[in-house]
Amino acid sequence: MSGRLTVVGLGPGDDRFLRPRRAKRLRAQRPSMATGPILDRVPVREGQARNPSGNRVEGNRARAALAHAAQGAHVAMVSGGDPGVFAMAAAVCGEIEDGPEAWRALDLHIVPGITAMLAVAAKAGAPLGHDFCAISLSDNLKPWELIERRLDAAATGGFVIAFYNPISTARPWQLGQAFARLGRHLSPTTPVIFGRAVGRDDEAVTVTTLDKAAETPADMATLVIVGAPETRVIPREGKAPLVYTPRMAATVSA
Amino acid sequence: MSGRLTVVGLGPGDDRFLRPRRAKRLRAQRPSMATGPILDRVPVREGQARNPSGNRVEGNRARAALAHAAQGAHVAMVSGGDPGVFAMAAAVCGEIEDGPEAWRALDLHIVPGITAMLAVAAKAGAPLGHDFCAISLSDNLKPWELIERRLDAAATGGFVIAFYNPISTARPWQLGQAFARLGRHLSPTTPVIFGRAVGRDDEAVTVTTLDKAAETPADMATLVIVGAPETRVIPREGKAPLVYTPRMAATVSA
């Protein structure tokens, strides 16, 4: 009896982002258990245990899924975006490393998804057209000083920066502080994109500048992209502006 | 007569990565012209002009597609991976900025795809589980000193690093030099992943360490991921090792 755990990223928004390969996997594997916070996006199957769970307690969720798979079950664990980017795949690997030897023998499949920064970038133009980085602003799992050091490194290195987990009720000040920190290195007119719920019916993309970014509303469903010095904004009459970062970088700035 | 340009990312490898939304767009829009280096992955339609083109001369391709759309055509421009990551979307935006006013009035849609670093990461485990960056090693469009400065910033900032365009016939030494540069900051045992042609039948994923990375074969179809100090490798009997970067970073290293 060989168990299997498939960690599937559903991409942002609705099932328009569910690729055939993922849909097929979810069908073909006949998972005896499905778990994740967005189970309503997974087709219901008779006889299948369904464990909806929140975004928190990732370790518990991963252990439960692994233990179930180790008993021979085929478990599908679903989440939005890409499971490898600030999400469940790393939590599962961590539990495998710390767990019983049998968990290493499990069939583990990770199926990638469109992560939020790619979806927001496509809506706005091509802000990630040149070297870029992704930083989680959550200081639950790392000290704020480390985040500040990374902000400094990213800004002085000339990277475009995507912020995941920009803000929450428990972390209300971090995003504003991050903008202020970047303001030490970047021009006040640096383009900043707020993409909320992209791929859903209520999606909203806002383009502003670094000096006004702290006034723009954001929540946990928001992905923020801060441009590099090369990032450009093209105004368009009657349309949203296009934001892009050219691949060309002719000069080394200090 | 309102023209339209759709820039579509097909993801890595074969059509397993072609999402329904993209397939539907390619059908529904009845593009009168399709252009891109991988046209064999796009269903043939009667009466459709098909312009296969190489990976180079991006500006020429973008201008041709925009000019055609400005005449009222529906043009689909396809490429592998995500069009917004070191690919055609930024080239299209650049030509819109520099081109005639009419090009700004065009309907432009960018449809994201699974970019190579997400596909390789999913195959290897979860190496991008924590803050990470993407750097193109091509010095065609930026000076090598800028690339070195970014390597320093990324390594000292503790980012996981993904290399796009790691090597080519015209750029044979850059990848080795990049590993050497990172060796100034990172431990020789830092995990390094080489993912080649992921999603295709001949896909190959190799896990090595920074001190041996320069000996590992790579080409233009390879995506390289260099771990952060926190990145871990889990050996598994009879299976490829799992590489992951935990979300937890407890300490600030100097």
Task: Please report the ipTM that was assigned to this predicted complex.
Answer: 0.90
- Scan for tokens 């939304």, then name that residue: B21
Q: Which of residues 141-170 of B touch A (CB under 8 A)?
A: 141-143, 145-146, 149-150, 152-154, 156-159
User: Quick check: do B4-111 and B116-244 share a fold?
Assistant: no
Count A/B contacts: CB-CB distance under 8 Å: 248
* Chain A environment of B205 (Cβ under 8 Å): none
Contacts of B5 (CB under 8 A, 6+ apart): B65, B66, B69, B75, B77, B92, B106, B107, B108, B109
- A56 vs chain B: nearest CA distance in angstroms? 13
CATH number (3.20.20.70, 3.30.950.10, 3.20.10.10, 3.40.50.720) of B116-244 reads: 3.30.950.10
Domain B4-111 architecture: 3-Layer(aba) Sandwich (3.40)
Highest mean pLDDT among A28-32, A195-199, B106-110, B137-141: B106-110
Q: What totals of helices (H) and strands (E) does chain B contain, helices first?
A: 8, 13
Interface check A207 vs B, CB under 8 A? no
User: What is residue A44's predicted lDDT score, i.e. its pLDDT?
Assistant: 61
**Any idea where the domains of chain B sit in the sequence?**
4-111, 116-244
User: What is residue A16's predicted lDDT score, i.e. its pLDDT?
Assistant: 44
Cα-to-chain-centroid distance, residue B167:
13
A19-28, A56-65, A142-151, B110-119: which range is least confident on average?
A19-28
* Chain B environment of A118 (Cβ under 8 Å): 82, 84-85, 112-113, 115
- Scan for tokens 């590992």, then name that residue: B216
Interface check B113 vs A, CB under 8 A? yes
User: What is residue A60's predicted lDDT score, i.e. its pLDDT?
Assistant: 87
Mean pLDDT of B210-230: 96
* Furthest-apart CA atoms within chain B: distance in Å: 62
User: What is residue B200's predicted lDDT score, i.e. its pLDDT?
Assistant: 85
The closest CB to that of B142, out of A94, A118, A249, belongs to A249
Confidence of residue B52 (pLDDT cuts 50, 70, 90): low
Mean pLDDT of B39-43: 62
**Is the pLDDT reported for residue A93 higher than 90?**
yes
Averaged pLDDT score across all residues of chain A: 87
Return left, alpha or beta for A125; rule: phi > 0 is left, psi -120 to 50 is alpha, else beta: left
A157-166, A170-179, B69-78, B110-119: which range is least confident on average?
B69-78
Q: Which residues pair with B35 in a beta bridge?
A: B51, B77
Interface check B59 vs A, CB under 8 A? no
User: What is residue B152's predicted lDDT score, i.e. its pLDDT?
Assistant: 98
Structure tokens belonging to residue A142: 């790392």
Exposure of B26 by Cβ count < 10 A (0-12 exposed, 13-18 middle, 19+ buried)?
buried
**Is the pLDDT reported for residue B165 higher than 90?**
yes
- Scan for tokens 């009896």, then name that residue: A1
The closest CB to that of A146, out of B111, B149, B249, belongs to B249
Cα-to-chain-centroid distance, residue B139:
16
Mean pLDDT of B166-179: 94
- Torsion angle defined by CA atoms of residues A89, A93, A99 and A100, in that order, rounded to the nearest 10 degrees: 110
Q: Which of residues 124-143 of B touch A (CB under 8 A)?
A: 125-136, 141-143
Asked whether the beta carbons of residue B113 and residue A111 sit closer than 8 angstroms, the reply is no
A94-103, A109-118, B11-20, B47-56: which range is least confident on average?
B11-20
Confidence of residue B14 (pLDDT cuts 50, 70, 90): low
* Chain B environment of A158 (Cβ under 8 Å): 146, 149-150
Return left, alpha or beta for A151; rule: phi > 0 is left, psi -120 to 50 is alpha, else beta: alpha
Higher pLDDT, B12 or B253: B12
How far apart are alpha carbons B188 and B200 in whole angstroms?
31
The string of pLDDT tens digits covering residues A15-69 is 544 454 555 555 555 565 666 655 666 666 666 666 666 555 788 889 999 999 9
User: What is residue B253's predicted lDDT score, i.e. its pLDDT?
Assistant: 44
Higher pLDDT, B40 or B17: B40
- Give residue A201's identity as a one-letter amino acid code: D
Asked whether the beta carbons of residue A159 and residue B146 sit closer than 8 angstroms, the reply is no
Confidence of residue B12 (pLDDT cuts 50, 70, 90): confident
Cα-to-chain-centroid distance, residue A54:
16
User: What is residue B201's predicted lDDT score, i.e. its pLDDT?
Assistant: 86
